[in-house]
A and B are shown apart, each in its own frame.
Chain A
Amino acid sequence: DGGITQSPKYLFRKEGQNVTLSCEQNLNHDAMYWYRQDPGQGLRLIYYSQIVNDFQKGDIAEGYSVSREKKESFPLTVTSAQKNPTAFYLCASSRPPSVYSNQPQHFGDGTRLSIL
């Protein structure tokens, strides 16, 4: 079955440490996204990528970095510059929305990141 796999499910970060969240999809989607969700809040866009080797900042990119070396993979690094990283992180993918505007984004099961 096609889908999006996020790992790990739970992650703990020490002060001053960078951590990387994995996101892999086998849906053959061109576009991929990272969102952050805080308790009682909706999702906020961190970064998105429309194509391999290209990505753009979303609304809350500070303290985060991404790469898109393969179509299937879009890892997110939470750097030590992100002072409040505790949140639920969701990865999503979709067909190119500029072409398929009615196509939804498909989401992974998320990663819960906490500070030690």
Chain B
Amino acid sequence: AQKITQTQPGMFVQEKEAVTLDCTYDTSDPSYGLFWYKQPSSGEMIFLIYQGSYDQQNATEGRYSLNFQKARKSANLVISASQLGDSAMYFCAMRGMNTGFQKLVFGTGTRLLVSP
């Protein structure tokens, strides 16, 4: 079975600072993918970044980067130069080869609040 754990219910950061949101995972799949989504208060889920288990380099997308440590089974999201618009819920998710990559398993999320 796959499991995602996000241990930070809430995080605070000042505008223009960097923040790291933690994500650890558990899986027996030899091949899997990790995703981060942002959910603003309006409710839609916005895809941010993807990391494949066999990718050699950490993924980056603009101000988002993923600190992937395979041996520790962690996939932390780093947001650089935080903006007020980054205030939202952030979810880590994964899917694996054993389910044909069909099932996306989500963590419980971290609420990020960016202050001026």
A residues apposed to B, CB below 8 Å: 31, 33, 40-45, 48, 50, 56, 58-59, 88, 90, 92, 97-98, 101-102, 104-110, 112
- Contact check, A108 vs B35: say whether CB atoms are below 8 A apart: no
Asked, given contacts A42-B108, A104-B35, whether A97 binds B101 with beta carbons under 8 Å apart, the answer is yes
- Contact check, A110 vs B43: say whether CB atoms are below 8 A apart: yes
- Contact check, A31 vs B102: say whether CB atoms are below 8 A apart: yes
B residues apposed to A, CB below 8 Å: 4, 31, 33, 35, 37, 42-47, 50, 52, 91, 93, 95, 97, 100-104, 106-109
- A20 and B97 CA atoms in complex are apart in Å by 32
- Contact check, A107 vs B100: say whether CB atoms are below 8 A apart: no
A7 → chain B, closest Cβ, in Å? 14
Taking CB as reference atom, which chain B residue is nearest A101?
A: B101
Contact of B108 among A33, A40, A58, A105 (CB under 8 A): A40
Taking CB as reference atom, which chain B residue is nearest A3?
A: B44
Contact of B101 among A33, A58, A98 (CB under 8 A): A98
